Chains A and B, each alone.
Chain A
Amino acid sequence: MQNKINRFLLDFSVLSIFRRGSKNIFIFFVFTLLIFLLSSILFISNSIKSELDTTLNELPDITVQRLQAGRAINMPLSRVDRLLAIEGVKAVIPRVWGYYYFANAGVNFSVVGIDSFEDQYRDLYSKLCDKFDFDRLKKDSGMLVGVGVKKILQNSFYGDYFNFVKPDGGLTKIKIDGVFKGDTKLESNDIILLTSQKAREIFGMNKNEAVDFVVKVANPTEIPNIARKITTLYPDSRVVTKEDLSISYQNLFDYKSGLFLALFVISAFTFFMIIYDKASGISSDEKREIGILKAVGWKIDDILKEKFYEAFILSFASFVTALCLSLFYVYFLNAPLLKNIFIGYSTLKPAFDLPFAFDFQTNAIIFFLTVPIYIAATIIPSWRVASMDADEVMR
C-alpha cells in the first residue's frame, strides 16, 4: 500500500501546483468553466427530458374539445353517453377546469373541479380523492390548494379562505380545506381543487356542460380508430390524441436540444483545443525541472507519478467545483440565461421549473471526457521529456 501512494510525492505535487500558481489558477479556471458549461447543458436537457416524460405520461389518451368558429367552446354532458358506446372506449371523463386570474398577485391559478366518485384523469387527483374527505369539501364548500397557491394567497392575507369573483361580479367564498403537494412541482403548484359544482359556479358554467372530455382507451392500438369515430360522430369536435400531443412536444424538445448540442460541441471543441495545446509542448521551465529531478536521482516512474498526482488533483478539483457550481446554477438558481433558450417550451407550460433529475450516466460521461484526457495530456509530454537524458534536458 505504501508503495502505491507516496505521501512525499503527493506533498511535492501539491507544492508544485502552488509553485506555478498563476498558470495553474488559469488552467483551473478554464477547466472549471468548461466543465461547468458542459454539465449545465446536460443537466438542463436531462431535466427537461424528465419533465417531458412526466408530462407525456400524464397526457390523456384522447382529448375531445368542441369547436365553434375555430374556438373551443364548452361540451354538453349529453355527449358522454354516445362516446361511451364506442367499442374500445374505457371511460369518458368530462373535465371542468380553467384559469382564474388573481389580479392582486398577477398570477393565474388553475382551477380544477372534480367529482370524487368519478374516474379521475390524473393520478394526482385520484390520490387526493383517497386522501381527503371530499364529502366535507362538498359540505362546507372548501377547496384544496397546491403549495404555490397557498403561498400566494398567504402573501395577500387570505389565510383560510378565498373570495372568487364570478363572471357576474358576485363573490364566492371558498374555504381552504387543505394543502397538497404533487410528485413534481409542475403538476401541482398552481392548482386549486374543488368540487365540480363549485368550479362551474366560479366560471359561470351551465351545469350540463364541461370544458372538454378526456377519453381513456384500454388498447393503444385502437386510439386512432376511436379518434376517427368521434370526429364522425360529432363533426364539430377537435380530437387530440396522445400521439399528436407527444409529437408536438417531442419536436419542440428535439429542436431545442439541437441548440444545446451545438453549444455542447463548441465547448467540447474548446476543451480539446486547450488539451491539444498542452499536450503538444511543455515549457522549458518544466523541462528543466524534470531534468533536475532526474539528476538528483528520481526515477522516471516517480516523475510520472508526481505528474499524475499533480494533474489529477488539478483536474479533479476543477471537476468537482464545476459540478457543484452547475448543480447550484441549474437546480437552485433555475439556470438563468441558459434556460432562456427554452423559452419556446415554457409557452406550452406556463409554470416552468427545472425538476431535479440527477443522472449518474451523464456525470460519468463528463468525467471520463475531461479528467483522464487532461491527465494523459499532462503525463505524455512529461514522459517524453523524462525518458531523455538529464543533461540533454537541462542543456
Chain B
Amino acid sequence: MKKSTLILILIITTHLFADYSKEATLQPKLFQSGGEKQWSPITGQKITKFYKTTYVAKLASNGRFRQYTSISELLMDAKESGIDINSTLVIDAKTQKYIDAKEAYFLLNSTIDPTFGVVGTLAFKDKKTALGFEKIYGGKIVTFKKALHVAQKNLKNSIYFMSNIYKKKLYPMGEKIYKKRCKNIDLSDYIEINELENDISKGKICGDLSDKHTFALALYLWDVKREGGISNNTQKVKVKEDEKCPVCGMFVYKYPRWAAQIFYKHGDHEHHLSFDGVKDMMKFYFNATKWGRYDFAKKKNISKMLVTDYYTQKAIDARDAYFVIGSNIYGPMGNELIPFSTKQEAQNFKEDHEGKKVLKFNEIKESLPYSLDTK
C-alpha cells in the first residue's frame, strides 16, 4: 500500500501535464449498437471526447463489441463482464484508426492527462510516430502486455483518484441537476450507465443538458441513487454551547474541528457526551467512571460514536475510522489521534504531517491516549 501511494504521489508530482485534446477530429467510429454507443459502458465517459485513447474489445460470451475510453476501463470490464482481451483493438492516436492492440506501441504515462485515473496510454501503429510523441510528451514506449500490467497494478489507485473527482465535483453537480430538473426516474430499467445517458441525452428525461451535465447526472444517478450507497453524509458533529468535555472540562463548541461524541442508549432514552478531541473520547471510552459518576456510560450501551474527519470536517463513525498519531498537527489538548474516513487519506496525512502511525479503532489501547499526553 505504501509503495503504491508513493507511486501515486510521484506520478502526480513529477509531471507538468500538457494540454492535448483527445477529441475526435475525424469521423469517429462507434462500435457499440443503439443510442448508447456514444458512451463507455463502464464509466459513462463520452467516447468522442476521449477518442484518441479509446479501446474496443469483444464480450467473451456473445461477441458483442464494447468501446472504452481508457485502458483502466478495459481492465475493469474484463473483471466484471468477461471480455476476450485478445480481441482488443486500440486507436492509433495519430491516424485515428483502430489497430490490433498486440501490435501497437504504447506510450505510457506521458505528460498528457490520463483519461481515467493515474495511468494514461496513447497507442501508435508506427514506432517512429510513437518515438516522436515520446520526445514531446515524455513517457515510455511499451508493449500492450506491459501497459496492461502497469494499468492493472495501478487500477486501485486509478479508481481512488477518480472517486475523489466524482465525490467532490460530479456527484454534487449531478445532485443539483437531479433536484432541479428531474422527476422520478426508474433506474431498474437500465443495465448499463450508457443506456441511462442515452435517455438523458436523447430522451431528454431531464430536459436539455450539455455533455458535461449529462455525464454528471448519469454518474450521480448510477453511483449514488441506484446503489443507495455513499450515504451523502453532510452532517457535522453537532455540539451545543453548554456542553463540556467530561475529561478535561473545556467547552467543546469552541473547537468544532475536533469535536467527538459518544451516544449512549440505556432504558428508553439516548443521550450523548461531547469531547474536544479523540484522545479525550478514548480516555472516557475505556474508563468512564474515572471521570465522574457516569454509571450509564457502559461500553455495551454505546449506540454511536462520532468523530470529525480531519479533511472533510464531517462526522464519521469512530469505529470505521483510521487514526494518525504523532503528527505535527495539534488539537486543543495537544497531541491527538487524528481521524480519517479512509486508509488512503490517513496514509496521505501521515506523510504530509510527519505522522508516526496509522491505527484502526480497535488497535487503540487504553494506555495510548495517556502516552500521547506525555509526549
**Chain A contact residues, CB within 8 Å of chain B:** 76, 78-82, 84-85, 87-92, 116-119, 135, 208, 218-219, 221-222, 225, 232-236
Contacts and interface: CB of A to CB of B under 8 A. Distances in A.
Contacts of A92: 168-169
16 contacts: A78-B19, A79-B17, A81-B165, A82-B12, A84-B164, A85-B12, A85-B164, A116-B176, A117-B180, A117-B216, A208-B19, A218-B312, A219-B312, A221-B329, A222-B311, A233-B13
B177 A78 contact: no
A89 B312 contact: no
Interface string B1-44: 00000000000110011010100000000000000000000000
Contacts of A236: 16
Interface of B: 12-13, 16-17, 19, 21, 113, 161, 164-165, 168-169, 172-173, 176-177, 180, 207, 213, 216, 257, 310-314, 329, 344-345, 348-349, 352-353
Nearest to B168: A84
A117 B168 contact: no
Contacts of A80: 169
B19 A76 contact: yes
Contacts of B216: 117
B318 to A, nearest CB: 18
Contacts of B173: 117-119
Contacts, number: 70
Contacts of B313: 218-219
A90 B16 contact: no
Contacts of B345: 87
A293 B107 CA distance: 109
Contacts of B310: 88, 219, 222
Contacts of B180: 116-117
Looking at A80, A92, A233, the one whose CB has the most chain B CB atoms below 10 A away is A233
Contact of B207 (A76, A91, A135): A135
A90 B168 contact: yes
Contacts of B13: 232-233
Given A87-B345, A90-B312, A222-B311, A78 B168 contact: no
A85 to B, nearest CB: 5
Given A76-B19, A118-B173, A236-B16, A85 B207 contact: no
Contacts of B169: 80, 84, 91-92
A88 B21 CA distance: 29
